[in-house]
Amino acid sequence: MKKNCCSVHFLICNNYAKKIFVFRRYLGVSFPFSVQGTHNACQLCKNCSIDDRDSYRYINDMKKPTILNRRFKETIYRRFAIKIIILNVFVFLVTDYLWPKGFYYLAMIPSFVRHGYLYQLFSYMFVHGSLNHLIFNMLSLLIFGTMVEKRIGSKEFLLFYLLTGLFSGIISFISYYLGGMNVVLVGASGAIYGVLLLFAVFFPYSVIFVFGIIPVRAPILIIIYALIELYSQVFGRGGNVAHLTHLSGLAFAYLYCRIRMRINPFEVFRRTL
């Protein structure tokens, strides 16, 4: 009986939500809105609840997809995050022990890119300057990347990760080129920061223990990271850290959410904090 009640409740909630959707679209109100907010309207079953993620999925299904937001239908978990970690470790071992010169061929160096090494805008994200750099990035990818991959699907995750790294590399190159700087850019940090933003969007109630002792909600942590990176970029703090690359990863992840996934991260944070 409870199952039937919840089923009827879900149908009525969705019908009610569709009317609200049309009404809000007519008024130009921002999306997405929570289907959970319509539960009190029908009062059929107080035990029934719909997760916020279902509201995003429901709103997305009602909009006609375009070439930019036609996501992959396959959601099989293929462990692409793990495979990316293995690839990064392999590249580190090769460039650090077997072929040291390969480090400069794979890293993003503006003068090299200007002379035709365009692939460096992509390959730099698989190279790391030290063991600590590698461990920190890959540990973040292991913890947060695997969860995001399971949430959005492996193909979607791989596309997002590679595009985020590429976008961060292009923005960094433009900045270095215009500033007349010839630096060596390596690391997956740009893509990792994008993954962190997606994690905060899809798991906004998750608690992350900073330094293993300080509990911080995921959206709050990503906001703090963004402010630190912005401050460091503007005031030139942080030494050899590529703050602009990190900010570029966050910016692309935001655009990816808005355009391809039709989710407003700021709206998610506002509703869940």
| pLDDT, the chain, mean | 80
The CATH homologous superfamily to which domain 80-272 belongs is Rhomboid-like (1.20.1540.10)
Residue 13 pLDDT greater than 70, yes or no: no
What's residue 92's pLDDT? Answer: 97
Backbone phi, then psi, for 118, in 5-degree steps? -65, -25
248 closest CA partner among 170, 179, 186, 176: 170
Residue 16 pLDDT greater than 70, yes or no: no
Per residue in 102-116, pLDDT tens?
A: 999 999 999 999 999
What's residue 184's pLDDT? Answer: 94
Per residue in 208-250, pLDDT tens?
A: 998 889 999 999 999 999 999 999 998 876 678 899 999 999 9
Q: Distance (Å, rounded) from C-alpha 248 to C-alpha 166?
A: 10
Contact 141, 188 (CB under 8 A): yes
Question: Which residues share a beta bridge with 108?
Answer: 185
- 150 to 79, 147, 188, 269: CA distances (angstroms): 9, 5, 20, 21
Task: Tell me the pTM.
Answer: 0.77
Segment 51-71 mean pLDDT = 54
Segment 16-34 mean pLDDT = 35
More confident residue, 176 or 23: 176
Per residue in 155-179, pLDDT tens?
A: 999 999 999 999 999 999 999 999 9
Give domain limits for the chain: 2-62, 80-272
Spell out the alpha helix ranges (H) of 128-206: 131-140, 146-152, 154-179, 189-202
Collapse the DSSP code of 48 into the 3-class scheme (helix H, G, I; strand E, B; otherwise coil) and give the result.
coil
Q: Distance (Å, rounded) from C-alpha 247 to C-alpha 172?
A: 10
What's residue 258's pLDDT? Answer: 94
